[in-house]
Amino acid sequence: MTVEQTVKKLIKIQDAYRQGNPVCCHKIARMGHSEFTPLFLYTQAIPHEDYSDIDVPGNLVHLDGLHLMVSWEFHGMLNDGVQVEAYVAGRL
């Protein structure tokens, strides 16, 4: 799912999401106008319980920056042409 698709889905379920995920909602709201900072991505899910349901062969998995990306998109900061620095670890 792209960041744009994620935000569209969150908007549709925002009341339920806010109740079920208050920490994430707070992060997304708080980071709404944060400066662009690098994202850290990996080429596969890392072996940790938080990632146990993720199976995305051929895609990238966030290590750090998910809430930032969602917040930037939610607040209209990821317009056409915007470039965000990212570091990718793992086998390409």
The per-residue pLDDT for range 20-55, each reduced to its tens digit, is 999 989 999 999 888 899 999 888 777 777 777 777
- pLDDT attached to residue 70: 92
Distance CA 29, CA 80 (A): 22
Q: Residue 39: give the domain boundaries.
A: 3-89
Model confidence, pTM: 0.77
Question: 41: number of CA atoms within 13 Å, CB side?
Answer: 18
pLDDT > 70: percent of the chain: 97
Q: Give the chain's domain count.
A: 1
Residue 75 has pLDDT above 90, yes or no: yes
